[in-house]
């Protein structure tokens, strides 16, 4: 059975590491849905969040292969642990005057922000789970989407309560 997994990977913050990781997915034929990367509390370490789809056997291999990279420090699969995860998405819509208030209302319902209004377009920023982002995009697609930019998911473990 195919499942979607959110995997966090801590790697040495060095040139070339990102391409080693992404190259690994390409050369082993793993299905990567999103990848985001940034610095951590330790400037020598970067953290990647990789969303990958596959059956248990593939995911097991993905994790092992990631671990096998010499620059990998730690790999965590959030699927079995609870985590907080969000994605940032910008969507630029066609704006016809009569639809303006509909767009604003839909955005408000989703807690999305209007970040830019131009002559013909309106740009909305939404930060939410990818499921909610998808729902939002589906709703606003009626207004005519011109452009979408998504960051990919970032995730962090939820602490024990």
Partner 1 sequence: MLLNGAQIVIECLKKESVDTIFGYPGGSVITLFDALFSEKDIRVIVPRHEQGGGHEADGYARSTGKVGVVVATSGPGATNLVTAIATAYMDSIPLVAITGQVRTNLIGTDAFQEADITGITYPITKHNYLVKDVKKLARTIKEAFYIASHGRPGPVLIDIPSNVFNEKTEFEYPETIKLRSYNPTYQGNPKQIEKAVKMIKESKRPVILAGGGVIASGASDELREFVKRTGIPVTTTLMGLGAIRHDDPLYLGWPGMHGTVYANYTLMESDLIVCIGARFDDRVTGKTDEFAKKARIIHIDIDPSSIGKIIDTDLPVVGDAKNVLAELNKHFNEKLDLETWINQIDSWKKNYPLKYKDDNITIKPQYVVEVVNELTKGINTIFTTEVGQNQMWAAQFLKLERPRQFLTSGGLGTMGFGFPAGIGAQVANPDATVIVFAGDGSLQMNIQEMATVKNYNLPLKVIILNNSYLGMVRQWQELFYDKRYSGVCLSRDITCPKECKGKECKKYWPDFVKVAEAYGLKGYRITNKKDVERILREAIIENKEAAIIDVIISKEENVMPMVPAGHPINNIIERY
The residues that touch partner 1, with contacts defined as CB under 8 A, are 11-12, 15-16, 19-20, 23-24, 27, 57, 60-61, 64-65, 67-68, 70-73
How far apart (Å, rounded) are the C-alpha atoms in residues 64 and 68?
Answer: 6
Least separation in angstroms between residue 59's CB and partner 1 is 11
Least separation in angstroms between residue 49's CB and partner 1 is 18
Q: Which is nearer to partner 1, 72 or 123 (CB)?
A: 72
Least separation in angstroms between residue 80's CB and partner 1 is 17
Instruction: Write 97-101 long-range contacts (CB < 8 A, 24+).
Output: 99/143
Q: Three-class SS string for 16-62?
A: CHHHHHHHHHHHHCCEEEEEEEEECCCCCEEEEEEEEEECHHHHHHH
Which candidate, 51, 53, 112, places its Cα nearest to that of 85? Answer: 51
How many alpha carbons lie under 13 Å from residue 158 in its C-beta half-sphere?
A: 11
Helix, strand, coil percentages in the chain from 3-state DSSP, rounded to 5:
35, 45, 20
Least separation in angstroms between residue 110's CB and partner 1 is 40
Q: Which is nearer to partner 1, 60 or 158 (CB)?
A: 60
Q: Which is nearer to partner 1, 20 or 150 (CB)?
A: 20
Q: Which is nearer to partner 1, 45 or 88 (CB)?
A: 45
Task: Tell me if 122 sits within 8 A of 100, measured CB to CB.
Answer: yes
Q: Which is nearer to partner 1, 66 or 93 (CB)?
A: 66
């Amino acid at each position: 059975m195919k499942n979607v997994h959110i995997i966090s990977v801590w790697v040495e913050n060095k040139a070339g590491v990102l391409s080693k990781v992404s190259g690994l997915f390409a050369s082993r034929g793993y299905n990567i849905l999103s990848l985001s990367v940034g610095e951590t509390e330790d400037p020598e370490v970067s953290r990647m969040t990789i969303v990958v789809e596959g059956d248990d056997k593939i995911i097991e291999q993905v994790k092992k292969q990631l671990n096998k990279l010499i620059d990998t420090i730690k790999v965590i699969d959030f699927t079995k642990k609870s985590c907080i995860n969000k994605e940032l998405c910008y969507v630029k819509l066609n704006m016809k005057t009569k639809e303006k208030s509909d767009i604003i209302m839909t955005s408000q319902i989703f807690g999305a922000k209007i970040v830019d209004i131009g002559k013909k377009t309106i740009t909305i920023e939404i930060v939410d789970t990818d499921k909610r982002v998808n729902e939002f995009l589906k709703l606003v697609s009626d207004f005519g989407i011109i452009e979408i930019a998504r960051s990919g998911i970032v995730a962090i473990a939820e602490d024990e309560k």
